[in-house]
Amino acid sequence: MTLSRITVSGETPYDVVIGTGILGELPGLLGPKVRTVAVVHPATLPEIARPVCGAIEAAGYEVVALPVPDAERAKTAEVAAELWSAFGRHGITRSDAVVGVGGGATTDLAGFAAATWLRGVKVVQVPTTLLGMVDAAVGGKTGINTPEGKNLVGSFHPPAGVLCDLATLVSVPRDDYVGGLAEVIKGGFIADPEILRLVEDDPEGARLPEGEHTRELIRRKVQVKADVVGADLRESGLREILNYGHTLAHAIERVEDYRMRHGEAVAIGMVYAAELSHLDGRIGAGIVERTRAILSSVGLPTAYRKEAWPALRDHMRLDKKSRGATLRFVVLDDLAKVSPLENPAEDLLEAAYQKIAR
């Protein structure tokens, strides 16, 4: 069994453990002082939660399994309140722990519930999707959605550890797996161009959990995330680069009422951000076309509905990256070089959108 262990530094350092068939590493992330573990998992995936609970019980912990709705339907104040009530009924104390098992929505919810219960209890994340492993579960951002937007209510609460068991990826639906590749590819544009080379070397293999470069792609993207959040947990500076492509992506998700996969929206958002970077004179057309080519090669979308622009523009006004009335985008100055673009002119925003409109 080959393990990769990436340490996320900061005030409370923790490890991200990556490998295949590694549930035996989970008790070590929980630590010896924990008595009861609340395992938050999608109700639709008991077959994934069962071995996690078994590994925890075998190590001598008391386990409470707490099923929640699937995907974004879990990330509501109502579901969070149900978890708080369950924590109370089962006597979860500050010396106990929460384990989030599932995709990014589940780990976001589990982290938020842990952050807010008793003003913060230990959480260990066990992401079971590509998107969860390379993005949502790493970094300590937790949150739920409101009718006004995605992740507008949340907290920074670093986990005690993250366990990425690549064996779980085999059961992920292909479209969901491909959606997660958008965040991997994003890491290549903002920080590690070797990721782009690996995808270009074998785009069909990149679409598969058992692809030749899968482990390396995941390891590299987790390292990008770890480097950034270890230096800037609370998004006061460097961490903002992780929002590349997300300003438009979050607006698309809102227009779609969250029926579009996050990664698909991010893919479109990256093309938009690249076009914005190009029209602002920061990058050449070659990087824009490379963005389209790489995303298209793995089956991700690169365009969106032309008539949706007015609604998208309205939703971008309420974005977590805005500062007061100032709309902020993360744009490219070159491969692996990003910077903020504040209050771009309306005609620039619309011109960039026309480049991706269909």
- Please state whether beta strands 62-68 and 36-42 pair in parallel, antiparallel, or not at all (unpaired): parallel
Q: Is 71 annotated as a binding residue?
A: yes
Select which of 262, 282, 292, 328 is catalytic. 262
Q: Is 73 annotated as a binding residue?
A: yes
Select which of 25, 145, 157, 183 is catalytic. 183
- Of 109, 149, 106, give the one whose Cα is nearest residue 131: 106
CB 214 within 8 A of CB 230: no
Select which of 25, 220, 240, 243 is catalytic. 243
- Indicate if 5 belongs to the active site: no
Q: Is 161 annotated as a binding residue?
A: no
DSSP string for 150-207: EEEEEEE---SEEEEEGGGGGGS-HHHHHHHHHHHHHHHHHT-THHHHHHHH-HHHHT
Residue type, 195: I
Q: Is 232 annotated as a binding residue?
A: no
CB 125 within 8 A of CB 162: yes
Measured distance CA(205)–CA(127) in Å, rounded: 21
CB 343 within 8 A of CB 270: no
Q: Is 262 annotated as a binding residue?
A: yes
Measured distance CA(286)–CA(292) in Å, rounded: 10
Q: Is 150 annotated as a binding residue?
A: yes
Q: Is 289 annotated as a binding residue?
A: no
Q: Is 128 annotated as a binding residue?
A: yes
Q: Is 215 annotated as a binding residue?
A: no
Q: Is 347 annotated as a binding residue?
A: no
Select which of 119, 259, 307, 358 is catalytic. 119
Q: Is 76 annotated as a binding residue?
A: no
Measured distance CA(6)–CA(16) in Å, rounded: 5
Select which of 250, 254, 261, 282 is catalytic. 250
262-279 helix and 174-190 helix, angle to the nearest 10 degrees:
30
Q: Is 216 annotated as a binding residue?
A: no
- Indicate if 246 belongs to the active site: yes
The DSSP element (H or E) to which 329 belongs, if any, is: strand 328-334
Q: Is 105 annotated as a binding residue?
A: yes
Select which of 41, 122, 141, 315 is catalytic. 141
Select which of 122, 221, 225, 292 is catalytic. 225
Select which of 246, 261, 315, 328 is catalytic. 246
- Of 148, 176, 174, give the one whose Cα is nearest residue 316: 148
Select which of 239, 254, 261, 292 is catalytic. 239
Q: Is 74 annotated as a binding residue?
A: yes
Beta bridge partners of 69: none
- Alpha carbon 333 to its chain centroid, in Å, reads 24
- Please state whether beta strands 14-19 and 4-8 pair in parallel, antiparallel, or not at all (unpaired): antiparallel
- Indicate if 90 belongs to the active site: no
Measured distance CA(295)–CA(290) in Å, rounded: 8
Residues forming the annotated binding site for Zn(2+)? Answer: 183, 246, 262
Residues forming the annotated binding site for NAD(+)? Answer: 70-75, 104-108, 128-129, 141, 150
Residues recognised as catalytic: 119, 141, 183, 225, 235, 239, 243, 246, 250, 262
Residues forming the annotated binding site? Answer: 70-75, 104-108, 128-129, 141, 150, 183, 246, 262
